[in-house]
Amino acid sequence: MKLWRDFYDLMMPDVPGCPSAAADSALRQSAIAFCEQSLAWQGTHPDVPVVAGTAEYAFTPPADAVVHTIIHAALDGEEIALYPDKPGMGSINRHGRKGIPAYILAGAASLTFVPAPSAPGTLSMTVAFKPSPVSTGIVDGQFNEYREAIVHGALVRLMLSPKKPYSSTQLAQYHQQQFAVKTAAAGQRVARGYTRARLQTRIMARGIEQAVK
């Protein structure tokens, strides 16, 4: 795992005098936004033992991470396909096998079968992760592949801070554009490997969009 300070060599020269706490916060928020928009951090969730009549199960993500969404789910090998009305938020059983829930909804910390399964089984999932709100860093793979994108996103947040030596709306706009381009490219890479609807990348938050206009 790489700590937020491992990004400093690429970022700090652009924000002289920036406190490490502010830098870490900006990097964390940028990494969260990047992972949410690109779905680039994916992995196999530990198998979940399913109990008959029990609908809700907690996610068990790696340390310093949370589950952002379910990519693929199967109960005893029976695929529960992506729910079409809410991409990324749930899955629906298209085969209608008796005892298999109709769909599965992903919350912030847990998933819920609707209806509850009528028989025990094992749920296997591929999920997309993102850093937790208190994470101290990110896994090596995401750091090695996407550190430039994450740094661009962090620089947007820092350069929009008022009355700082590094405050610059013009440079924030440049880094915002770079963040959007690199995040979209990462999302397209992921989309080619999965049968999913076309990904759309937002440019950070509405407040940032307004600030750079």
pLDDT of residue 200: 41
pLDDT at 111 over 80: yes
Q: What is the pLDDT of residues 135-164, one digit of tens each?
A: 999 999 999 999 999 999 999 999 999 999
> Could you say which of 97, 130, 163 is where a domain stops?
130
In terms of residues, how long is the chain?
213
pLDDT of residue 142: 94
Single-letter amino acid, residue 82: L
Judgement on whether residues 157 and 181 belong to the same structural domain of the protein: yes
pLDDT of residue 94: 52
> Could you say which of 104, 130, 156 is where a domain stops?
130
Average pLDDT, integer, range 69-95: 67
- How far, in Å, are 72, 87, 145, 185, 194 from residue 65 at the CA level? 18, 21, 18, 23, 22
Average pLDDT, integer, range 167-189: 96
Judgement on whether residues 93 and 150 belong to the same structural domain of the protein: no
Q: What is the pLDDT of residues 118-132, one digit of tens each?
A: 889 999 999 999 999
pLDDT of residue 103: 79
Judgement on whether residues 59 and 112 belong to the same structural domain of the protein: yes
pLDDT band at 207 (very low <50, low <70, confident <90, very high): very low
pLDDT of residue 61: 94
pLDDT of residue 148: 97
Nearest to 36 by CA among 141, 134, 127: 127
Judgement on whether residues 146 and 190 belong to the same structural domain of the protein: yes
Q: How many domains does the chain have?
A: 2
Judgement on whether residues 52 and 28 belong to the same structural domain of the protein: no
Judgement on whether residues 147 and 122 belong to the same structural domain of the protein: no
Q: For all residues of the chain together, what is the average pLDDT?
A: 85
Q: What is the pLDDT of residues 1-32, one digit of tens each?
A: 999 999 999 999 999 999 999 999 999 999 99
Residues 6+ apart with CB under 8 A from 11: 23, 27, 151, 154, 155
pLDDT at 102 over 90: no
pLDDT of residue 107: 83
Judgement on whether residues 18 and 46 belong to the same structural domain of the protein: no
Q: What is the pLDDT of residues 33-53, one digit of tens each?
A: 999 999 999 999 999 999 999
pLDDT at 114 over 90: no
Structural domain containing residue 171: 2-39+139-211
Judgement on whether residues 74 and 111 belong to the same structural domain of the protein: yes
More confident residue, 196 or 108: 108
Nearest to 66 by CA among 103, 123, 110: 110
Judgement on whether residues 118 and 149 belong to the same structural domain of the protein: no
- How far, in Å, are 13, 56, 125, 161, 208 from residue 151 at the CA level? 12, 37, 30, 16, 16
> Could you say which of 75, 108, 130 is where a domain stops?
130
